[in-house]
């Protein structure tokens, strides 16, 4: 039978904005050995600032407009940020044939013209030669009717509590902290170094993230558990593959909240170590 302290533990966690979807997850949390993070919206704010606009075939304003229109239907943090930078109302009738390509970008029609907005992988996939960008940040390429139109450089910031969150996990005895990201190598490795993560893997598609989680599951000890923490945009498969899936509840997607076992209501990564602490206290596990 389930000891009463389980419910006390879940209640104590929820007072701190940590929703645990069942008593057995306390046991998993208490034995967390590997903690794997998504980057955008999880360790970083997920709010990008446009730092440069490099058009090839049009004006800066036109490049930003076509990118923002193409992103009209996407909920990805990059999409939200480009629309914010554009600032003007978008007539949805101008945007048709919308395809969201997870881990790569979007492919749509704007005023009947084919527009692709996304990363190097997407450009390679559609056979468009892109220009390498030497600036620090995430490069968003734009292709118009199959021709390169230019790129926009955007940058995100790590969350204020992210570095302390990683330190707190180590203090709780978590052996390995890992970041998996679809973003570029330079960006991912920069964030990982800044936060003191043990391992980082970049340029991953959602399926590659599942593969990495499976590899990490095979590496850990038999008793130790693996937690995956994500904001949800295309994270549902990894959230359910991990021993325990933790989702950011405020900015995160409904699909992630659904797929997750634990939801952090205020999106603060420092709540993970706190959840582990509460779980151990509840189960009276002393390390």
Residues near ligand ADP (CB under 6 A) are 38-40, 71, 74, 76, 78-79, 103-106, 117-119, 138, 140, 181-183, 233-234
Q: From the candidates 38, 243, 261, 267, give the one annotated as an active-site residue.
A: 38
Residue of minimal CB distance from ligand ADP? 182
- Cβ-Cβ contacts under 8 Å for 10 (sequence gap 6 or more): 20, 23, 26
Tell me how far, at minimum, the Cβ of 183 lies from Mg ion, in Å: 9
Calpha distance 226→240 (Å, rounded): 11
Tell me how far, at minimum, the Cβ of 124 lies from ligand ADP, in Å: 12
E strand or H helix at 230: strand 225-230
Calpha distance 96→282 (Å, rounded): 53
Q: Which is nearer to ligand ADP, 36 or 226 (CB)?
A: 36
**Site residues for Mg ion per CB under 5 A:** 38, 40, 233
Residue 209's Cβ-count burial label (10 Å; 0-12, 13-18, 19+) is buried
Residue 280 interface partner, choices Mg ion, ligand ADP, none, CB cut-off 5-8 Å depending on type: none
Q: Which is nearer to ligand ADP, 32 or 122 (CB)?
A: 122
Residue 103 interface partner, choices Mg ion, ligand ADP, none, CB cut-off 5-8 Å depending on type: ligand ADP
CA torsion sign for 37, 254, 210, 277 is positive
Residue 261 interface partner, choices ligand ADP, Mg ion, none, CB cut-off 5-8 Å depending on type: none
Tell me how far, at minimum, the Cβ of 101 lies from ligand ADP, in Å: 7
Q: Which is nearer to ligand ADP, 181 or 282 (CB)?
A: 181
Could you tell me if 264 and 272 are in contact, meaning their C-beta atoms sit under 8 angstroms apart?
yes
> Where do runs of H (alpha helix) occur along 33-111?
60-70, 77-86
Tell me how far, at minimum, the Cβ of 41 lies from Mg ion, in Å: 6
Tell me how far, at minimum, the Cβ of 30 lies from ligand ADP, in Å: 27
Q: Which is nearer to ligand ADP, 42 or 268 (CB)?
A: 42
Residue 156 interface partner, choices Mg ion, ligand ADP, none, CB cut-off 5-8 Å depending on type: none
Whether 38 sits among the annotated catalytic residues: the reply is: yes
Calpha distance 226→199 (Å, rounded): 14
- Cβ-Cβ contacts under 8 Å for 113 (sequence gap 6 or more): 144, 145
Q: Which is nearer to Mg ion, 38 or 156 (CB)?
A: 38
Q: What is the dihedral of CA 71, 257, 271, 190, to 10 degrees?
A: -30
Q: Which is nearer to ligand ADP, 106 or 216 (CB)?
A: 106
Could you tell me if 100 and 53 are in contact, meaning their C-beta atoms sit under 8 angstroms apart?
no
Tell me how far, at minimum, the Cβ of 2 lies from ligand ADP, in Å: 35
DSSP string, 7-20: HHHHHHHHHTTEEE
Catalytic residues: 38
């Amino acid at each position: 039978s389930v000891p009463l302290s389980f419910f006390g533990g879940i209640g104590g966690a929820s007072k701190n904005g940590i929703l645990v979807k069942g008593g057995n997850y306390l046991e998993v949390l208490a034995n967390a050995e590997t903690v794997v993070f998504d980057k955008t919206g999880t360790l970083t704010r997920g709010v990008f600032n446009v730092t440069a606009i490099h058009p090839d075939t049009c004006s800066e304003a036109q490049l930003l407009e076509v990118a923002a229109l193409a992103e009209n239907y996407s909920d990805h943090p990059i999409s939200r940020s480009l629309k914010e930078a554009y600032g003007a109302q978008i007539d949805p009738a101008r945007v048709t044939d919308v395809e969201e390509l997870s881990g790569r970008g979007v492919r749509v029609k704007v005023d009947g013209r084919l527009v692709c907005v996304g990363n190097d992988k997407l450009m390679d996939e559609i056979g468009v030669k892109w220009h390498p960008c030497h600036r620090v940040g995430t490069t968003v390429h734009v292709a118009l009717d199959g021709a390169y139109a230019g790129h926009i450089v955007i940058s995100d910031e790590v969350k204020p509590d992210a570095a302390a969150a990683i330190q707190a996990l180590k203090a709780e005895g978590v052996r390995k902290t890992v970041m998996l990201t679809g973003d570029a190598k330079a960006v991912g490795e920069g964030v990982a170094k800044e936060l003191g993560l043990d391992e980082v893997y970049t340029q991953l598609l959602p399926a590659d993230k599942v593969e990495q989680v499976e590899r990490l599951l095979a590496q850990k000890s038999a008793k130790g558990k693996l937690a995956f923490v994500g904001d949800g945009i295309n994270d549902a498969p990894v959230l359910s593959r991990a021993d325990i899936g933790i989702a950011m509840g405020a900015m995160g997607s409904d699909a992630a909240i659904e797929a997750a076992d634990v939801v952090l209501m205020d999106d603060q990564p420092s709540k993970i170590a706190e959840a582990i602490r509460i779980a151990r206290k509840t189960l009276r596990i002393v390390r």
